[in-house]
A = this chain, B = another copy of it.
């Protein structure tokens, strides 16, 4: 069972970040998201029409990180997700890969910005890369576990970003997934993938 004081702490964050009112605006001149239109000829001779979602003139490839502290606890992000039923999600730290950054660097930067925790490059485990929504996007996400994370500094959030970080045990996180607090596909995937790695380290008493 998840500790009573932890679930209370989490509920405070969720309450604070809830969207109370969402108003639809008229289309501005140019936003972060744009749509591109393509006509593609396949090797079988047929032509198909497809639409592509572009994020900030890029594919929108992201990194998703499961951070585990030296004490063996995990660090989650609580964040407004205004288009979901709950309007707030509990999930893993994540963010877009910027400029020419490699995925590992992006993952370490996002972890530091969202939580203030740092991880050494040699403690990162790569879990694979998969397309987010390949029917309409080229976003290729990269997934990591970050072991032995240590507090390093303050959160560094963008003007429009409100993130609370939340620390609990690996098993408590599994409970949050099971009970519907963690609702994002990227987070759910990493947690499923990470189980074997984490159980192995728990058996070896390395975390």
* A binding-site residues for B, Cβ under 8 Å: 15-28, 31-44, 46, 48-53, 55, 59, 80-85, 89, 128-138, 140-141, 160, 162, 183-186, 188-189, 192-193
Judge whether A33 and B53 touch: CB under 8 Å.
yes
A-B contact pairs, 10 of them (CB 8 A): A19-B40, A22-B41, A31-B35, A31-B37, A31-B51, A89-B131, A89-B134, A128-B188, A141-B185, A185-B186
Judge whether B130 and A185 touch: CB under 8 Å.
yes
CA distance A51 to B33 in the complex (A): 7
* New contact pairs (20) apart from A22-B39, A83-B137, CB-CB < 8 Å: A16-B44, A17-B44, A20-B41, A20-B42, A24-B37, A24-B38, A28-B37, A31-B51, A38-B82, A53-B53, A59-B83, A83-B134, A83-B136, A89-B131, A129-B183, A130-B188, A132-B132, A132-B133, A134-B184, A185-B186
Closest residue of B by beta carbon distance from A188: B130
Residues of B within 8 A of A28 (CB): 37
Judge whether B51 and A37 touch: CB under 8 Å.
no
Judge whether B34 and A35 touch: CB under 8 Å.
yes
Pick from B49, B55, B83, B188: contact of A189, CB under 8 Å: B188
Judge whether B134 and A84 touch: CB under 8 Å.
yes
Closest residue of B by beta carbon distance from A32: B51
Residues of B within 8 A of A38 (CB): 22-25, 82
CA distance A141 to B112 in the complex (A): 30
Known: A48-B162, A184-B131, A189-B185. A33 touches B136 (CB 8 A): yes
